[in-house]
Amino acid sequence: MPVETWLIFIVGFMLIGSIAALEMKDLLSAIIAVGIVGLGVSMAFLLLQAPDLAIVQFLFEIFSVVIIVRAFLKKDYHSEGEGQRNRLLGGITVLTLIAVFLLSIRLFKALPPFGKPLMTTARYYLENCASQTHAANIVSSIVLDYRGYDTLGEVTVLFTAILGALTIIRLKSKRKTEGEGQS
């Protein structure tokens, strides 16, 4: 089977998985379903010849499932039935999104077809990477050398996110008692 068929199979599987994850009433099943979708992304990366990403996606998937389960599972959780207002909102949203989807067909026709990217910039990396950076992994050399500034930004994003999460979790505010009184 060609790669494309496999990919259609995997992405279709992911579509079903994500709908299941959103619609399931049970929280643990939903988290597991979205975990499976993430592993599907990892598989798709592998098929699309991106092993770096497959590894990172796989690991981050494990990591985020662990923290989501750890954070949420022991809460006394009740899922609620869908209300009336919700159904109206849902209907409007679905119609709008279907319209966007149909419009997007024109866009994807105008883009280069699957399997034939333009490669004008990328060709330079493929040809010159080994001689210029002496790194065998071209993705690594782009991430850390040609576009190292992006990675500095990425490291900062992670630092900000972690600092932010710690601030949100462990902040002992002077106003805390007052806030508690209100809730």
Partner 1 sequence: MTLYLMCFALLLIGIYGIIVKRDLVKIIIASGIMGYASNLLLILFAYRKGGIYPILEKGKDMTGRVMVDPLPQALVLTSIVIELGITAMLIALAIRIFEKYKTFDITKIRRLKG
Partner 2 sequence: MKQQPGLTLIAKTVTRISVWLIVLYGFYIIFHGHLTPGGGFAGGVVIALAFLNVMLAYGHETVTRWLNISFMHDLEPSAGALFLTMGILGIALGGGFLANVVHRGTLFNVFSSGNILVLNIIIGVKVAMGLFVVVWSLAIFRFFEGGDK
Partner 3 sequence: MILPFFIIIPLLAAFLIALISGERDNWAIAVAVIAMLALLCLALFGFVTIGAQTQVYQMGAWKIPYTICLVLDALSAFMLVIISGIGLTALMFSVFYIRHLSTSWKYYALFMLLITGMNGVVATGDLFNLFVFMEIALFAAYALVSYGSRAEEFEASFKYAIMGSISSTLVLVGIAIVYSATSNLTMATIAQLLPQNPTVMYFAGGIFLAAFGLKSAMMPFHAWLPDAHSSAPAPISSMLSGVLIKTLGVYVLVRLFYNVLGAPPLFLKMFMIFGSISILVASFLAMGQWDFKRLLAYSSISQIGFILLGLGIGTRWAILGAIFHILNHAIFKALLFYNAGTVEMVLGTRDLRQMGNLTKILPYTTATSMCGTLAVAGMPPFNGFFSKLIIIIAAVHAGHPIYASIAVAGSFLTLVYFMKVQRYGFHGKKVIEREGVKIGWGMRTAMIILAVLTLATSLLILPGIRTAVLDPVVAVIMNKTGYITQVLGGNL
Q: Which sign does the torsion angle of CA 53, 57, 58, 63 carry?
A: positive
Tell me if 161 contacts partner 1 by CB under 8 A. Answer: yes
175 binds, among partner 3, partner 2, partner 1, none (CB under 5 to 8 A by kind): partner 3
Tell me if 163 contacts partner 3 by CB under 8 A. Answer: yes
Q: How does 81-119 read in b/e, with b if 16+ C-beta sit within 10 Å? A: eeeeeeeeeeeeeeeeeeeeeeeeeeeeeeeeeeeeeee
Q: At what angle do helices 27-47 and 51-72 cross, to 10 degrees?
A: 170
74 binds, among partner 2, partner 1, partner 3, none (CB under 5 to 8 A by kind): partner 2
Q: Considering only CA atoms, which of 96, 106, 6 is closest in space to residue 47?
A: 6
CB of 116 to partner 2, least distance (A): 25
Q: For partner 3, which residue of 74, 76, 101, 107 counts as binding (CB under 8 A)?
A: 107
Tell me if 164 contacts partner 3 by CB under 8 A. Answer: yes
Q: Binding pattern to partner 1, positions 86-105, x when CB under 8 A?
A: x--xx--xx--x--xx--xx
Is residue 17 a contact partner of residue 34, using CB atoms and an 8 Å limit? yes
Tell me if 118 contacts partner 3 by CB under 8 A. Answer: yes
Q: Check residue 174 and report its DSSP letter.
A: T
Distance, in Å, from the CA atom of 151 to the CA atom of 161, rounded to the nearest integer, reads 15
CB of 127 to partner 1, least distance (A): 10
CB of 53 to partner 3, least distance (A): 14
Q: How far apart are the first and last CA of the chain?
A: 59
Distance, in Å, from the CA atom of 110 to the CA atom of 121, rounded to the nearest integer, reads 20
Q: For partner 2, which residue of 11, 92, 98, 165 counts as binding (CB under 8 A)?
A: 165
106 binds, among partner 3, partner 2, partner 1, none (CB under 5 to 8 A by kind): partner 3
Is residue 39 a contact partner of residue 61, using CB atoms and an 8 Å limit? yes
Q: For partner 3, which residue of 5, 49, 121, 131 counts as binding (CB under 8 A)?
A: 121
Q: Which residues bind partner 3 (CB under 8 A)?
A: 103-104, 106-107, 109-112, 117-122, 124-125, 145-150, 152-154, 156-157, 159-161, 163-168, 171-176, 178-179, 182-183
